[in-house]
């Protein structure tokens, strides 16, 4: 069993979002995976079974619970698989499938001059309204209703995991001073993975912060599954166009772990087709190898 700690959505060690990656985890029990994720103490750890024919079975754990899917751990995982020679690439490109509790997802890996880009594709989405007044979530963030951006109505968005989308005016992200218990209770009530709080900073450029205190993650520096849901959300609120809309998300700056996520929203004749989330990664260190 090989264990890595990988920083995702960055090319600089100790930036981005750290993910545990455990290769060849076939023999681990649920209890052992949960204990190992708690010991690594990354926001999520990916456990992968030996792959066959380009398909990989993956499970994800936070330090406290198993979750259906994790975007940044997926980026970290496939970066590590490529770096350790466990992926077959033809002319620097490979197409793979990741099987998770949240569904099966196409994964593309591009390698050029040692730089690896991992792209996750999500093709289905669902949007629902909040089960409570938006003022409750804004209050839990320590903000006022006039901090909200009216162009981005709050909504529950799902592609892989379900996330709460909250749009704020530029500058409000830095003033968030959230009440952990209050926010966690609301997110648990919504049955969402995280609160994805964002602001528009320019044409197709967004800043974001992401919170999940109810699953043991007070704040997340880069959230790939939320970025996918956000891309679908932008289509729903009329912020994408026909063809491909590419957006950039900066996250993690307030935590001292800057991250960069690239999202491409594919729309054909007004109909959503898919969303792609891309990012790089770097292995921070190889923890150990055991038999």
Q: Which tens digit of pLDDT belongs to each residue from 49-84?
A: 877 789 999 999 999 899 999 999 999 999 999 999
pLDDT at 289: 63
pLDDT at 123: 87
Strands (E), 66-193: 66-67, 93-100, 103-112, 115-122, 126-128, 155-158, 162-168
Q: What is the mean pLDDT of residues 5-28?
A: 96
Q: What is the greatest pairwise CA distance in the chain?
A: 57
Determine contact, residues 89/54, Cβ cutoff 8 Å. no
pLDDT for the residue numbered 287? 81
Question: Does residue 195 contact residue 187 with C-beta atoms inside 8 Å?
Answer: yes
Give me the pLDDT at residue 140, please. 98
**Is 44 noted as a catalytic residue in this protein?**
yes
Separation CA 281–CA 221 (nearest Å): 13
Domain ranges in the chain are 2-91+281-289, 126-278
pLDDT in tens, 79-137: 999 999 999 999 999 999 999 999 999 999 999 998 999 999 998 999 999 999 999 99
Averaged pLDDT, 228-237? 97
- CA proximity to 116, closest of 171, 88, 78: 78
pLDDT of residue 290: 57
Among 15, 44, 98, 219, the one annotated catalytic: 44
State the average pLDDT over residues 159-180.
96
pLDDT at 230: 98
Q: List the structure tokens of 138.
A: 């804004």
Average pLDDT, the chain: 95
Cα separation, 266 vs 185, in Å, equals 34
Q: How far apart are the first and last CA of the chain?
A: 6
Q: Which fold has domain 2-91+281-289?
A: Diaminopimelate Epimerase; Chain A, domain 1 (3.10.310)
Q: Quick one: pLDDT band at residue 209, thresholds 50, 70, 90? A: very high
Token pair 């007044």 is at which residue? 133
For residue 286, the cross-strand partners are: 4
Above 80 in pLDDT, residue 291? Answer: no
Tell me the per-residue pLDDT of 188-204, one tens digit each, with 9 for 90 and over: 999 999 999 999 999 99
Proportion of the chain above pLDDT 90, given as a percent? 92
Taking residues 220-237, what's their average pLDDT? 96
C-alpha span between 182 and 235 (Å, rounded): 30
**Tokens coding 47:** 């456990």
Q: Reply yes or no on whether the pLDDT at 269 is more than 60.
A: yes
For the domain bounded by 126-278, which CATH number is listed? 3.10.310.10
CA–CA separation, 142 vs 219, rounded Å? 15
- Dist CA 3 CA 110 (whole Å): 23
Same fold, 2-91+281-289 and 126-278: yes
- The model's confidence at residue 143, banded by pLDDT at 50, 70 and 90, is very high
């Amino acid at each position: 069993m090989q264990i890595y700690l990988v920083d995702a959505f960055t090319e600089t060690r100790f930036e981005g979002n750290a993910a545990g990656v455990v290769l060849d985890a076939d023999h681990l029990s649920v209890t052992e995976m949960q204990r190992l994720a708690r010991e690594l103490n990354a926001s999520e750890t990916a456990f992968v079974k030996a792959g066959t024919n380009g398909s990989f079975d993956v499970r994800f754990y936070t330090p406290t619970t198993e979750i259906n899917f994790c975007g940044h751990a997926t980026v970290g995982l496939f970066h590590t698989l490529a770096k350790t020679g466990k992926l077959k690439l033809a002319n620097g490109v490979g197409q793979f499938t990741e099987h998770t509790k949240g569904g099966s997802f196409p994964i593309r890996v591009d390698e050029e001059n040692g730089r690896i880009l991992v792209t996750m594709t999500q093709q289905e989405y669902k949007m629902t309204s909040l089960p409570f007044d938006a003022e409750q979530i804004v209050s839990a963030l320590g903000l006022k209703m006039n901090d909200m951006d009216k162009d981005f109505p709050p909504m529950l968005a799902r592609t892989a995991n379900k996330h709460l989308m909250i749009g704020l005016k530029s500058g409000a992200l830095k003033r968030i001073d959230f009440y952990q218990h209050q926010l966690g209770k609301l997110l648990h009530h919504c049955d969402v993975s995280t609160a994805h709080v964002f602001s528009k900073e320019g044409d197709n450029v967004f800043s974001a912060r992401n919170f999940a205190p109810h699953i043991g993650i007070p704040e997340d520096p880069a959230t790939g599954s939320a970025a996918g849901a956000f891309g679908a959300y932008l289509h729903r609120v009329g912020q994408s166009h026909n063809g491909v809309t590419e957006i950039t998300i900066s996250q993690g700056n307030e935590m001292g772990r800057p991250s960069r996520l690239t999202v491409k929203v594919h729309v054909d004749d007004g109909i959503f087709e898919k969303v792609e989330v891309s990012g790089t990664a770097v292995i921070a260190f190889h923890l150990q190898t055991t038999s």
